[in-house]
Structure 1
Amino acid sequence: MTTELRVLSEAERDAWFGCLELAFGGVPFSPESREMYAALAEPQRAIGHWDGADCVGTAGAYSFRLTVPGGAAVPAAGVTGVSVSATHRRQGLLTSMMRRQLDDVRSWGEPLAVLLASEPGIYGRFGYGAATTEMNLRIDTSRVRLALPPGTDGVRVRRSSPAQALDACEAVYGRLAADRPGTPVRQPGWERVPVNDPESGRKGGSPLQCVLAERDGEVTGYATFHLRPAWDDAGPRGAVAVRDLAALDPASYAALWRFLFGIDLTSVVECHNRPADDAVLRLVSDVRRCEVRLRDGLYVRLVELGAALEARSYRAPVDVVLEVEDAFCPWNAGRWRLTVDEKGAAVCRRTDEDPELALSVNELGAAYLGGVSLTTLAAAGRVRELRAGALAEAALAFSSDAQPWCPHGF
């Protein structure tokens, strides 16, 4: 069967979206979500496979700037909308789209590509590595208490509509973005994503609600959430489903959690996609009753290896020669010397020197944001130390104070 792979035209958008919806179960996007993502779409960065008049494969890429260790915002392709029609599986369509897309990303001058995988087993063969971890919580607030830091009582928590609070919430998000590797620096229009609230996405809950934390008239944090009322013979057992929570200081952070724990007629707070090192785990009295679950988050692909490694800063000086395997993007394969000075600035150049660490581009992607240790990867047999001491030196340099995290989908 022969298909044609080409860049999406404006006239083909609905067919492209229809293919994507069908591949993900056939449930249409809500009108609100479809309009929002249509406004955010970059058709010149979307490709599709066509079998005659039918779209049978889709892939797109947003223009992102991603926070990396050190706080720099690095251009990155936010890969999205990847699908292949069930009628055209195992015919090489996905591989050809990944090939075309990574070639395009390289031509755009973006050293990174990132994605959130629907299934974790798909993208490793294209050089992506799982670089962040998401934490999900289901906290029994009837039995878990919070240890509040000094100053919590001085924080005012007040209600606001998500739309009215949007600018204040975005200001908090923007101030925090540089502190957390893996966080997209939101471009115009993306502020709508956290407050998009179609009824179909509420899972029986209320419309999206919002509270702001304030001190001396300044907004210092926010939380958005749905309430899901429920009752049994013993009384109310509702849940608070947290969508977003962010704060500029410990007292504001704790005040927001105290508010969520204390909402009437609820006994559970549910959180999906919190950072793996979320400080709430150090506030609760019983972490076992928080039902902590971890899963893979953002996947990172180094498209231009040298530029990517130079774009981030490092925790310690290091001088190491890397032997890198990259079958899918062979321009990255070979030996690279990474030299980092006392200030964390890096130079990464090709070399003919003897290698000191051997690994694939997948492992570099996993370790790139500082959340996955090269030491751990070595223990799994994914990194080989060829010079004694090189592994410990590189692992320290690549590490990050904060666990990387991507706070929203795309």
Structure 2
Amino acid sequence: MNAAVSEHVLNAVNERGLLRFITAGSVDDGKSTLIGRLLFDSKGIFADQLDAISRAKHKRTVGDTVDLSLLTDGLEAEREQGITIDVAYRYFATPKRKFIIADTPGHEQYTRNMVTGASTADAVIILVDVSKVKLGDDGSVELLTQTKRHSTIAHLLRIEHVIVAVNKMDLVNYDKTVYDRIVAAYQQFAKQLGLADVRAIPLSALAGDNVVSKTDNLSWYEGPTLIELLESLTVYDESHDEPFRYPVQLVARHNGHEANDFRGYMGRIEAGKVHKGDKLLVQPGGQTATVKDILTLDGSLESAAVGQSVTILLDEYLDISRGDMLVQADKPATLLKTVNAEICWLSEEPLDMRRKYWLKHTTKQVAARVTQIDTLLDINTQERRAADSLKLNDIATVSINVQQPLAADAYDAIRSTGSFILIDEVTHQTVAAGMIRIA
């Protein structure tokens, strides 16, 4: 196989391999039922799982119909209340590709769990319940606030593909006019938001229309089914082409009974590649060294790439500890003492700008204080205004002073080194998720 053909095959694997996606939207839009239908119709569940949910005491369907939402809503509280609370991950595969689905909550109170699920997603399915959208006689269409909030979060997290699934079409007798009005309203909002790749699809998760197979009910729709659309999405991992980023998790020493003074730096490669002989820079310290060896449990490697957990040995001893970052010497990260970021406030306790918080960035944790709220985003209008505090689910641009400099990248450039969380130093609860913006 020549080099050109080999590169083509590699790119094809990267573009059509594993797809991580989430379902999002408001409460009772049918997210869990949709995932259950995907798993059921694509033969992605086992017989014992099907038997267990068919006998569940909290089943909400009539007669012998299986409540497919119970495949992901496994917590007792979820089944009692009929809502999703925690993020549930499910794996399934078709002959064309493999999938990891995250079923995320729709309730405003659990938006923080939706952010968790969305942080690693390649695609998002925004469900819109046709029975809840307000259609005015004057042609106006009013989307739900949670639909707008989840779409905004998807945009902030730079999720590549957005699928708008207009669900419960059976409740409006599969009316194409209703579908067209809702899609037009969402596309107008998406344009205002800045979402680029938006695709719409009509379906009924409960009845199975247009999820895995087409039915006569939606004969007017000529596009692909949901599973066909998911199979066709391209997901090319650009992190191999990014500058090398390696947050140190642990400094490994010999056990004290050996003559050699072994010192290795353990961690996971978050971006780029590394080879023996590469010159690396230690940040924030500023020292440079050359890679002497790259070790794994299986032995020594000539090179390693993003996603691999390795131990790196350098040609000289340097003062390196957990939280430091080894980077490509000619393409370092930016050292920040003031972090400008977009954050989503996840705590029921409002932001207190007089207090210190812990900022967790890769393997580094530093004391931090929010010094300024630059703008607060209005979810419905997408306008920004001044604010002096943040409450649950608020999205804002802020300035944060950190006690020690962070070696970071813009979130738009490298997700893993451009994101962070804020932690309450008293309760140790995560209070905010942030995305670093570097001009």
Q: Which structure is higher in RCO with an 8 Å CA cutoff and minimum separation 6?
A: 1
TM-score, length basis structure 2: 0.25
Bigger radius of gyration:
2
Compare the two structures and name the one with the higher helix fraction: 1
TM-score, length basis structure 1: 0.27
